[in-house]
Structure 1
Amino acid sequence: MVLDVFGPVKRLIKLGTVCIDNNVFRLHYKATVIIMMSFSLLVTSVQFFGQPIHCIQKDDIPNDLLETYCWIHSTFTLPHAMNKKVGVEVAHPGVDQYKPGDTKTYHSYYQWVWIVLFMQALVFYVPRYLWKLWEGERLKSLVLGLNKPIIAEKVKNEQIGLLVLYLKANIRYHNWYFFYFVICEVLNFVNVIIQMYVIDAFLGGAFSSYGSDVLNYTEKDQEDRVDPMIATFPRMTKCTFYRYGSSGEVQRHDALCILPLNIVNEKIYIFLWFWLIFLAVMSGLMLLYRIIVIFIPALRFLILKSRAKFTDPNHLKLVMEVSKIGDWFLLYLLCKNIDGHHFKELIQQYSREIVEDGSGQPMVQPNEKEMEALKSAD
């Protein structure tokens, strides 16, 4: 049964054959989407196939009618009763006799948790969708079959030759490719910040400090502390049902309602509090890394060199001397997807091509070490 519920999520786990992004990007459209979709399905299964609310009352109102009414119209707690001693002053935190003028805190969010989680999962996928749209499977068409370590020599040479021709013909024309990706990374960061505010508004302002309150709760004395999870996701609430009596007067009936679903909700949102903060920090660090890469060209060479371990650094230097940041980004993605030895041959041929164009005029003048590297490659 559990496997059937989470069956639709399985397809999200599968990774593509060609990687067009990075690990932080995948945390958004893979990990976060899977987490939120799983939570949404979990809440849905409990809400619609279990019994999310149980109400207790001493009058002759049918329980099914009362529970349906309280579920639809929401239940409430009394903030002034949250700090009272359980078992002495009140039966449960926040549950007390209502008096005219007392402040009520209504809890109706639990009806919408699964929808909000599902919508948030869709929003987290939007930057990925835009990047795929702008990328247009360009990298997949360039990789050809070079991601396989074993390939026929003739086929390999043809594919490397075609790729070299493309890179040379489109040199310094890939900046848009890089900046579209940066835009999507910025959208990821902005989205996770907005989502934190959305959840905070959804939970009535309780989410912004929810995780820290839970951590502080464990350090307080047991007699003085109030569980923030119970305050935000009460397990027992009150519900007032009105009806006409036999004389035509309006009768008021108070009921105690137990919300088993909130046991699930409180765990979901404590996890999301820590996860979204982690995601925001990682996305912010990635944007800082992008800024450094944009303004420090020497770092690009070091990054590509560390990735292309089999490639001669002198060949990489020749390539980087004529490449803009968009060309570097494309080469970095190619390096991630192409077999290391194939990438080595690609850079060898590419560096040889950029030393001389068709008319014999050099695009870049190699130094002594770079010239020796080219000769040794021959």
Structure 2
Amino acid sequence: MLDIFRGLKSLIRVSHIHIDSPVFRLHYSLTVLILIAFSLIVTTRQYVGNPIDCIHTKDIPEDVLNTYCWIHSTFTLVEPTQSPGRRAGYPGVSTTTQDKEKKLYRYYQWVCFCLFFQAILFYTPRWLWKSWEGGKIHALMMDLDVGVCSEIEKKQKKKLMIDYLWENLRYNNWYAYKYYFCEVLALINVIGQMFLMDKFFDGAFLTYGLRVIEFLNSDDEDRADPMVEIFPRMTKCTFRKFGVSGDLEKHDSLCILPLNVVNEKIYIFLWFWFIILTVLTVLVLVFRVMIIFSPRMRVYLLRMRYRLIRSDAVDLIVRRSKMGDWFLFYMLGENVDSVIFRDVLHELANKLARHNFHHISGFKGDMTEP
């Protein structure tokens, strides 16, 4: 199983250039890796064995019966009048009568495709942000993430970065809002996928984790295993064929689904993982709202994250810039060498101070003219 994850590491590589938050990276890196690995696991007989094994008679070849029941789905019998502690045999497997409702299981053929489709959806916000970002941070870095270069080259690159930041000051709001939209899209995706899987499992997924916790804490005699109800290990399958006289013969067969032992573990993990992702993403978005409406929060974050920068320089930069500029500065600080980034922001603050002084002096001069 470790070989699967080793092979997928080359597909999901997180760049050393950070253009997003750690929580956002969990959506498109670790989650995509997990979903693709699960998709491969459920299709690999090395770990699961045969996905279905049905008890057959001599009249029906084993491969024919297994293939038929896999394609046309299996079923269990719903017995609402029986309490969990009084069930005889395996839950849902008994003689078929008219007063018992059949519950069909059609999902297991589609689990690998659904997991792969979920991985694509989780990567979509990252793809969208990467196309909108257009390599802006990478271009502004100019290999200054490592401060080992000649002083002349370092000075030239810092001047280019300062000139760009100065010329585009107060014009970066859309840059930040596009990224925040992608974070909102990531939250919509993870919540939407929980409802998608709830539909996939006939309304049983949203409460799946809570029911498992309740099952583990209940008495042995009175509890019904929700993992067995959603992912049964034994089901029934009805096969019809024509006999030697031309009459239709009905064969009621028991089928074992070893794949569901893996499926139940996969989806209980995904339930808890999606809940954790949802909570973390909501907290990040609340944090973004605070950043948008609170300049003091932006000052505090820059001071805490980049302690080499003077407090008065941070105050001046945040006061004279907009939220999008702050976001660009913060992302640059994540990627550029800390000493170089300090020098860049100090020089930018000096330019802002000089510009403010000239503007005020010119304004006062105009007032003194007759």
Bin of the TM-score, shorter chain as denominator length: over 0.9
- Cα distance, 1:7 vs. partner? 4.9
Question: Contact 2:84–2:224 (CA<8 Å) still a contact in 1?
Answer: no
- Aligned residue in 2 for 1:155: 153
The amino acid across from 2:24 in the alignment is F
Q: Choose from 93, 96, 113 the match for 1:95.
A: 93
- Aligned residue in 1 for 2:225: 227
Task: Supply the distance in 2 between the matched residues of 1:363 and 1:11 (Cα, whole angstroms).
Answer: 56
- Aligned residue in 2 for 1:177: 175
- Cα distance, 1:293 vs. partner? 0.9
Is 1:37 equivalent to 2:22 in the alignment?
A: no
- Cα distance, 1:179 vs. partner? 0.4
- Aligned residue in 1 for 2:54: 55
Query: TM-score, normalising length from structure 1?
Result: 0.91
Q: Choose from 257, 260, 276 the match for 2:258.
A: 260
Distance change in 2, residues 1:306/1:258 (3 Å): same
Q: Secondary structure at the match of 1:319?
A: helix
**Superposed CA offset, 1:307-326 (max 9, x none):** 11111111112212211001
- Aligned residue in 2 for 1:334: 332
- Aligned residue in 2 for 1:10: 9
Task: Supply the distance in 1 between the matched residues of 2:252 and 2:241 (Cα, whole angstroms).
Answer: 12
**Superposed CA offset, 1:230-259 (max 9, x none):** 000000000000011122111110111000
Q: Choose from 290, 293, 317 the match for 2:291.
A: 293
Q: Choose from 234, 244, 247 the match for 1:246.
A: 244
Task: Supply the distance in 2 between the matched residues of 1:212 and 1:205 (Cα, whole angstroms).
Answer: 14
Question: Contact 1:53–1:258 (CA<8 Å) still a contact in 2?
Answer: yes
Task: Supply the distance in 1 between the matched residues of 2:131 and 2:110 (Cα, whole angstroms).
Answer: 31
- Aligned residue in 2 for 1:78: 77
Task: Supply the distance in 1 between the matched residues of 2:262 and 2:108 (Cα, whole angstroms).
Answer: 10
Moved more, 236-245 or 7-16: 7-16
> How many residues are aligned here?
362
**Superposed CA offset, 1:126-164 (max 9, x none):** 111110111000010001121103222111111111100
Q: Secondary structure at the match of 1:328?
A: helix
Distance change in 2, residues 1:189/1:49 (3 Å): closer
Task: Supply the distance in 1 between the matched residues of 2:16 and 2:298 (Cα, whole angstroms).
Answer: 25
**Unaligned stretches of 5+ residues in structure 1:** 366-378
Matches within 5 A, 1:176-195: 176-195=174-193
Q: Secondary structure at the match of 2:254?
A: strand
Question: Contact 1:81–1:95 (CA<8 Å) still a contact in 2?
Answer: no
- Aligned residue in 1 for 2:102: 104
Q: Secondary structure at the match of 1:356?
A: helix
Distance change in 2, residues 1:354/1:51 (3 Å): same
The amino acid across from 2:345 in the alignment is I
- Aligned residue in 2 for 1:276: 274
Q: Secondary structure at the match of 2:138?
A: helix
The amino acid across from 2:187 in the alignment is F
Question: Contact 1:56–1:256 (CA<8 Å) still a contact in 2?
Answer: yes
Distance change in 2, residues 1:342/1:362 (3 Å): farther
Q: Secondary structure at the match of 2:235?
A: strand
**Superposed CA offset, 1:195-246 (max 9, x none):** 0000000011110110000000012111111110000000000000001112
- Aligned residue in 2 for 1:64: 63
Question: Contact 1:235–1:260 (CA<8 Å) still a contact in 2?
Answer: yes
**Superposed CA offset, 1:262-291 (max 9, x none):** 000000000011011111111111111111
- Aligned residue in 1 for 2:130: 132
The amino acid across from 2:333 in the alignment is C
CA RMSD of aligned residues (A): 2.2
Moved over 4 A (4+): 81-86, 362-365
- Cα distance, 1:8 vs. partner? 4.3
- Cα distance, 1:355 vs. partner? 2.0
Q: Secondary structure at the match of 2:75?
A: strand
Matches within 5 A, 1:180-219: 180-219=178-217
- Aligned residue in 1 for 2:349: 351
Task: Supply the distance in 2 between the matched residues of 1:27 and 1:172 (Cα, whole angstroms).
Answer: 30
Q: Secondary structure at the match of 1:243?
A: strand
Question: Contact 2:49–2:258 (CA<8 Å) still a contact in 1?
Answer: no
- Quick one: percent identity of the two aligned structures? 45
- Aligned residue in 2 for 1:119: 117
Query: TM-score, normalising length from structure 2?
Result: 0.93
Moved more, 197-206 or 143-152: 143-152
